Structure formats: C-alpha cells, structure tokens
Amino acid sequence: MKYFLPAKGAYKVFANIPYCITTKIIEKLTNTSNPPTDMWLIMEKGAAKRFMGKPRETEKSLLLKVNWDMEILWHFQKEDFHPRPSVDSVLVHFVRKEVPDLGKSEYCAFQRFIVHSFQYGICGKKGLLTKRQVQTALKQAGLPHAHEDGVTLYIQWLCLFRYCLHCKGKSL
C-alpha cells in the first residue's frame, strides 16, 4: 500500500496480493490517475467473483466494469501455496478499457445512480425510475427485463442509467 505507482507511462502489475487487503489494493490500482493497462492478481476466489459481479452485480463490480474487463484465468489448488490457504485462490486478469463505457462526468453521475439504486432500489417509492420507465428503457434497448430472473446485468444498469440521465438531465 505504500508503493508509489508510476505517475506517467504504461505499466502492468502481476502480484499475489494479501487477501485481507484485497479491496484496498484494487481501489489503489484502479482509482489512481495513471492506472495500469493490465493486472494479473492472485486473490481469494470469493473476492474475485464479487469484483466481477458474479452471481450478482455489486456496487464495486458495476463501477469497476466502466473502465475494466475482468476474467478468471486460473483456479489454483490449495496445495499450490505454502502455507496452504483456507480459501480458494484464483488468478484474475484485469484489462483497462481503451475507451471507458462512460466519460469522467458521466462516471460520477453513474456512481450516484448506483449508490442510490442499491440503497433504495432502481424503482419504487424512493427509486429514480418507475417500473414503467425501467420496462420502456430496456425494451427500447432490446434488453430483457431487469427482474425476470432476479439478476440485473451490467449492460442493463448502463441502459437504465442513460435513460435516467435522459429523463432527469444531469441532476443525478
């Protein structure tokens, strides 16, 4: 956590990170002014799945996906490590998107949209959209309804965010 990341120029990270500070490390690497182009990180499988939004998207996974593609490349055996960990470990490849899915100003609004929606729901009494607006937005985009299987995909979240921006303007 004390290591200074390069202020300019491209670089890549390959690390077996301490599982107890995984979130802090991911935040440091992804929220810096000059993030790496690629990261290969050995981490606890459960944490990797949460960052990747599996089985359901989380606030962190949604915000990461704006700028990063993520994939589990390898599942380690516990015997691969000494001392042997009590949890499953995986190698995750993070690739920074050349063109993020949202611009910097939109990202801030998306962050507010996600935090609000996780706290109050996408639609409903305190939600930012009505059920009808959610259905309309997803139908216009050719996407399945967000709640048919209980899972709202990243692409659906982006669609709903953009629809909300369109309806409410930049006031998110």
Reported as a single tens digit per residue, the pLDDT across 55-70 is 999 999 999 999 999 9
Structural domain ending residue among the three candidates 96, 123, 153: 96
Predicted TM-score (pTM) of the model is 0.90
Closest alpha carbon to 122 in 157, 89, 90: 157
pLDDT tens per residue, range 84-143 = 999 999 999 999 999 999 999 899 999 999 999 999 988 878 989 998 999 999 999 998
- How much is the pLDDT for 147? 59
Looking at the chain, the number of H-run helices and the number of E-run strands are: 6, 4
Give yes or no: residues 90 and 50 share one domain: yes
Query: For residue 7, what are its two tokens?
Result: 């202020």
Query: Which residue range(s) make up the domain with 160?
Result: 104-168
Confidence at residue 168, expressed as pLDDT on a 0 to 100 scale: 74
Same structural domain for residues 22 and 90? yes
Residues 19 and 82 in one domain: yes
pLDDT of residue 169: 66
Residue of higher predicted confidence among 156 and 169: 156
Q: Is there a single domain that holds both residue 90 and residue 150?
A: no
How many domains would you assign to the chain? 2
For residues 55 and 118, give the distance between their C-alpha atoms in angstroms, rounded to a whole number.
Answer: 16
In a domain, residue 84? The reply is yes
